[in-house]
A and B are shown apart, each in its own frame.
Chain A
Amino acid sequence: MNTKEHSNFFQGKVFAILGLLILLIVPNFVDTNVQIVFILILFYALCASCWNIVCGFVGELSLGHAVFLGVGAYISSLLLMDCSLSPWIGMFIAAAITAVFGVIVGLPCFRLHGPYFALTTIALGELIRIFVENNETVFGINLRGAMGLVLKQSGNQFIAFEFANKITYYYVLVALVAVTILVTWLIKNSKLGFYLTAIKSDPDAAESLGIKLTKYKLIAMGISCFLISFAGTFYAQYFRYVGPSRIFSHDMSVQIALIALVGGQGTVFGPLMGACLLVPITEFLSEEFGGTLPGLHLFIYGIVMILVVLYMPRGIFHPVTKLFKSIEAKLFSFGKKSVQKGEK
């Protein structure tokens, strides 16, 4: 896994760097309207990367990850609304609580496998959604039930996580995504990553080698929830509204999982690639056809999914890097021969 992927990634480095540069620089020079799409790309990339940390590595499909996104969003927003705590601090408190919550939830869930696991996470998501919708207060905290949390504008203050222009939001996301990808990469190359991959390929063998299955799954879960909670805080601050029927929705969970799966689960950059492919398609189609032919955009979305799976069943990451590599090899075949000789 590691060695292979590294070489892949670094051999396609021209494109990788190009891609990252586009993500870093281009949003500065486009309309706000395009910036929104970039923000959504990174937002979903962030969520999908977090999903990937636990599900991609362990090989179980969680279809309820929006719950943790929502918990993060709720906690940091409540801290802001009720305790006037800056989201910059609140998001860490939220992350810590979400991580603990994730571990508690994961404890029973990870006893299940395959479809049982996937569908239990669906049930969990629905349960939390209905619960929040129907309960105004929980433990004396006013969750405002189905109405959701409306964050008041407080003027463009950095301290309040509120910015005048989209680009600032964007760079906040860039930082979050960078951290997440870095964490993913570190995990992948550490004991944890080896253990998770081992668990994914054969839990029995893994256990016989002294790997505590639940412990490592839960560590991954904790990290994943910690990070996705940041995405939740971002969501709340960016849209300035957190409603249970969306943030805890099955649709949201599925979307997160889809992007990671289409990108390539268990890979470091897959989720980002998945988001780069799917989010613009959705946004474009929904804008173009949402008003005239409701349903068309989701229809095409479905077809795209089918095609991706049929032709790249393990996600777009490997085929795309392979393609980049071969293009690169052609483009730079000149200088390459000497390099290869040198290597040998």
Chain B
Amino acid sequence: MLDVKELRAGYGDIEIVHGISLKVLDNQIVAIVGANGAGKSTFIKALMGMIPVKKGTVTFDGQDITSLDTNKICDHGITLIPEGRQLFPQMTVEENLDIGACTPTTRKDRDRKKEEMFELLPRLRERAKQMAGTLSGGEQQMVATARALMSSPKLLVMDEPSWGLAPILVTELFQTIETVRSEGTAVLIIEQNVATTLSIADWGYVFENGNVTMEGAGSELLCDEGLKKAFLGI
């Protein structure tokens, strides 16, 4: 469903991502792993139209979405859980979720979706009326996840969702991801938690200095010796 070809992007004059091609098929979990600074987040930003694409194309469900405005890309059914939460600090948790479904098409389902989210993450129901800015780091991450799911996206992009999460929650998070996929949403995930991620991923890409150096089925990659050395510290 997502097909990225030869994407090049960067900040200002500096090119960070040097021609990356990547595919996400229907109902797949695709993982991107790589060292810090490999350009994973930059790739995602370019994909989402948050920084300009220098070269290459992004097609989604057969439509060219290269360099559209971020909100237009969202309209196509891609949502992002950005690096570092990015909530609306002075709005309540509930309002944060509302914004997650604010386009005319998604708004219809809003209340039902919200209920679903509260079921999924009960902590949020407790905090529904609290200002998001005063939540703890982990609570904020939950809000960010729930907010992204509010619009029932076709593709969910997650940039380090386990950042700052307690181990219990990390486990829950990965369960959530599988639940989401089982409901028909494809997932593109960036994670430092390489082992767990690759174990649930259908396909994985390894980024290094803005290039894809390796790709393959999640379980295959897990067994790769070089990878083990580089990321798993074994």
User: Do A and B touch (CB < 8 Å)?
Assistant: no
Interface residues, chain B, CB within 8 Å of chain A? none
